[in-house]
């Protein structure tokens, strides 16, 4: 949800900022802009509608001189995506420039007050209100920029990560955050700032994660200074980055999404490393071991998440209820936080988030925490807001996921949640040692089995071409594979713009069956386990109405294969682990349909990877 980047040092800022914006483009890409103070002390702002490449074209013949600057790539909230609403925004006097990721909720009240003081507004954004407020505060109180920012932010309700330039002080940038991420890179006589570490990694591995309600002052040739909104000085805590540059490249793949699909055998091995022991006889999750009693005494587990992460949560509900015999509720964070839920002190709340920054999930955690529940989070981005406010957790360690449609993060979330379910079940004694050992051994085989599914990529690419005509798709699954059906449908919607619905197969006869005709492709996830016979009947019902069936079946299956128009096989495994295999063909199917349709696979329209607004 918008990416921000900044630089102050001895190098030319513009190339660093543009490269940083490309890295952050996954956060939003409807317009982009840059502000630079050149060597004559002029503050220049260049903005363009569209992607960062449009900004580069626009700025090609402009003065991009300067060793200090800030830049922004936008996902519109207030005001349509156009050049005027793009960031950075000038203040009234054009002496200050701001970039902002987040939402200012009381912007209207602030705007009315500023208008009474003669301020005029050029854009429809909430952000412009913020820069005007900072200028007004600075002028009316005669404070320096840092203190004016601090004082102005005390009047603001909402979420933000901001960076501000002052043309009268070309030696400093002030930045602050509340609710939106902000990381500072510390180089040799230079500073970087960004929404995440990806624009920073090639210059330095020393970073400081800025906390909520902290204002940071980056002054040339000085140490960074941090002060909270309530005026407490903080010592910057420098951390080492684990990110590497090659993780941010496509490495020969045409899209990040395809690269990330193919990475899954390795990323799942990484997720299990050090947790599943080498002889596949035990799982040791430190977040569980350290809080064993909380998990064992939990009367209920509440899982909260959004999007793809919510689908991983649904799969976990099946596993936790089966193995740990504890009631599990799975909640959309956005609904949970607003519906006055009953939360008890002995509840365990599990938050799932790839980015660790999703605003609704963060707010859901804060609500549950205020009621005394124990918060365990499953996140991918190390140091993000959600793991930092949680009591404990487990990182998925899949490396940066750059394609906006989540793939490798999803499978790693399912693995982490399955490991947790097995740990609780084993310790509680609600599953036998034999069953536990069998599943742990099967889990260890999953990366190799995913390789076998990936081996069918070419076939999937070939038959995907047949379905680009479709306006609608139905995805069906049962049990552990019902959430997979929803995830497959979501993947297709996100990147190919084809309407798709994921449904429990047995529910089809209560509505969706009315949609079935020879025009309607129906993807059925039908591995040979659990309710296989029932799903065979469901497929017969589809074929009787001339629907076109794409089936995901277990290797060696003949029954469903004979009925399906196209069948993709997955190796045999334990039922609870089938989602880790059955989702792979659905990821590939969505990918290839989107490619044939000419869609922007990695940056689909209107979406963003990290949703830091409610």
* Residues designated as active site: 2, 609
Nearest alpha carbon to residue 582 among 477, 455, 490, 500: 477
State the CB neighbour count (10 A cutoff) for residue 486: 21
Q: What minimum distance in Å lies between the beta carbon of 358 and ligand G6P?
A: 3
Q: What minimum distance in Å lies between the beta carbon of 423 and ligand G6P?
A: 22
Nearest alpha carbon to residue 577 among 395, 405, 446: 446
Peptide bond into 421 cis (omega under 30): no
Q: Mark residue 121 as left, alpha or beta (left: phi above 0; alpha: psi -120 to 50; beta: remaining).
A: beta
| ∠ Cα 197 203 207 (to 5°) | 45
b/e per residue, 273-303, with b = 16+ CB within 10 A? eebbeeebeebebebbeebeebbeebebbbb
Q: In angstroms, what CA-CA distances link 122 with 71, 88, 174, 512? A: 19, 12, 23, 49
Q: Which is nearer to ligand G6P, 361 or 569 (CB)?
A: 361
Q: Which is nearer to ligand G6P, 355 or 587 (CB)?
A: 355
Q: Which is nearer to ligand G6P, 92 or 501 (CB)?
A: 501
Q: % helix / strand / coil in the chain, to the nearest 5?
A: 40, 25, 35
| ∠ Cα 384 390 396 (to 5°) | 55
Q: What minimum distance in Å lies between the beta carbon of 540 and ligand G6P?
A: 34
* CA–CA separation, 514 and 522 (whole Å): 13
Give the residue at shortest CB distance from ligand G6P: 307
* CA–CA separation, 559 and 163 (whole Å): 61
DSSP code of residue 359 = H
3-state SS class at 486 = helix
Q: In angstroms, what CA-CA distances link 84 with 36, 45, 87? A: 17, 11, 8
Q: What minimum distance in Å lies between the beta carbon of 386 and ligand G6P?
A: 8
Q: What minimum distance in Å lies between the beta carbon of 195 and ligand G6P?
A: 13
DSSP code of residue 96 = E
Residues of the shown chain interacting with ligand G6P in the complex, contacts defined by CB under 6 A? 306-309, 353-355, 358, 361, 404-406, 607, 609, 611
Q: What minimum distance in Å lies between the beta carbon of 464 and ligand G6P?
A: 21
Contact 305, 448 (CB under 8 A): no
Q: Which is nearer to ligand G6P, 309 or 531 (CB)?
A: 309
Q: Which is nearer to ligand G6P, 377 or 554 (CB)?
A: 377
Q: Which is nearer to ligand G6P, 174 or 368 (CB)?
A: 368
Q: What minimum distance in Å lies between the beta carbon of 353 and ligand G6P?
A: 3
Structure tokens at 14: 């513009």
DSSP code of residue 390 = S
Nearest alpha carbon to residue 33 among 58, 12, 9: 58
Q: What minimum distance in Å lies between the beta carbon of 349 and ligand G6P?
A: 15
Find the length of the chain: 614
Q: What minimum distance in Å lies between the beta carbon of 203 and ligand G6P?
A: 26
Contact 488, 589 (CB under 8 A): yes
The dihedrals phi and psi of 597, each to the nearest 5 degrees, come to -75, -5
* CA–CA separation, 132 and 149 (whole Å): 11
* Gyration radius from the chain CA atoms: 25
């Amino acid at each position: 949800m918008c990416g921000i980047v900044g630089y102050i040092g001895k190098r030319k800022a513009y190339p660093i900022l543009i490269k940083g914006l490309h890295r952050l483009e996954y956060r939003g890409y409807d317009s982009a802009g840059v502000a630079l103070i050149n060597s004559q002390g002029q503050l220049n702002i260049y903005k363009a509608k569209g992607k960062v490449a449009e900004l580069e074209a626009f700025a090609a013949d402009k003065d991009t001189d300067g060793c200090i600057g800030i830049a922004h790539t936008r996902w519109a909230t207030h005001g349509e995506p156009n050049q005027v609403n793009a960031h950075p925004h000038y203040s009234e006097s054009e002496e200050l420039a701001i970039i902002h990721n987040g939402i200012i909720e009381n912007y209207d009240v602030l705007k009315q007050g500023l208008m009474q003081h003669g301020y005029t507004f050029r854009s429809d954004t909430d952000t412009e209100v913020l820069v005007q407020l900072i200028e007004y505060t600075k002028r009316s109180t005669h404070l320096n920029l840092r203190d004016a920012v601090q004082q102005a932010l005390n009047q603001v309700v909402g979420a933000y990560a901001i960076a501000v330039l002052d043309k009268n002080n070309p030696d400093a940038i002030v930045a602050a955050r509340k609710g939106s991420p902000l990381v500072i890179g510390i180089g040799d006589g230079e500073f970087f700032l960004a929404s995440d570490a990806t624009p920073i990694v090639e210059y330095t591995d020393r970073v400081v994660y800025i906390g909520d309600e902290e204002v940071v002052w980056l002054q040339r040739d000085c140490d960074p200074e941090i002060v909270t909104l309530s005026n407490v000085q903080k010592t910057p805590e420098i951390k080492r980055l684990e990110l590497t540059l090659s993780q941010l490249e496509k490495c020969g793949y045409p899209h990040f999404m395809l690269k990330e699909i193919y990475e899954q055998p390795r990323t799942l091995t990484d997720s299990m490393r050090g947790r599943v022991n080498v002889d596949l006889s035990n799982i040791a999750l430190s977040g569980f071991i350290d809080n064993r009693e909380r998990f064992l005494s939990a009367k209920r587990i509440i899982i909260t998440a959004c999007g793809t992460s919510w689908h991983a949560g649904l799969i976990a509900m099946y596993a936790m209820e089966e193995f740990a015999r504890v009631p599990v509720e799975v909640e959309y964070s956005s609904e949970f936080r607003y519906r006055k839920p009953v939360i008890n002190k002995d509840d365990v709340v599990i938050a799932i988030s790839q980015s660790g920054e999703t605003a609704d999930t963060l707010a859901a955690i804060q609500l549950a925490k205020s009621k005394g529940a124990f918060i365990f989070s499953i996140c991918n981005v190390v140091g993000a807001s959600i793991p930092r406010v949680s009591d404990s957790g487990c990182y998925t360690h899949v490396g940066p996921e750059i394609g906006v449609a989540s793939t490798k993060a999803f499978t790693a979330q399912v693995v982490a949640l399955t490991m947790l379910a097995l740990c609780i079940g084993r310790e509680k004694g609600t599953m036998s040692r034999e069953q536990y050992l069998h599943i742990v051994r099967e889990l260890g085989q999953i990366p190799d089995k995913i390789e076998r599914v990936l081996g069918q990529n070419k076939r999937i690419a070939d038959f995907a071409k047949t379905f680009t005509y479709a306006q609608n798709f139905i995805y069906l699954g049962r049990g552990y594979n019902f959430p997979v059906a929803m995830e497959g449908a979501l993947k297709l919607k996100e990147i190919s713009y084809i309407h798709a619905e994921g449904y429990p197969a047995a529910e089809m006869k209560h509505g969706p069956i009315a949609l079935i005709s020879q025009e309607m492709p129906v993807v059925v996830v039908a591995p040979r386990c659990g309710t296989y016979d029932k799903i065979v009947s469901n497929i017969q019902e589809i074929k009787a109405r001339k629907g076109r069936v794409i089936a995901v079946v277990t290797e060696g299956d003949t029954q469903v294969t004979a009925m399906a128009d196209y069948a993709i096989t997955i190796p045999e495994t334990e039922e609870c682990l089938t989602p880790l295999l059955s989702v792979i063909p659905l990821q590939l199917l969505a990918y290839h349909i989107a490619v044939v349709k000419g869609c922007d696979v990695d940056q689909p329209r209107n979406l963003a990877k990290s949703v830091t607004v409610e």
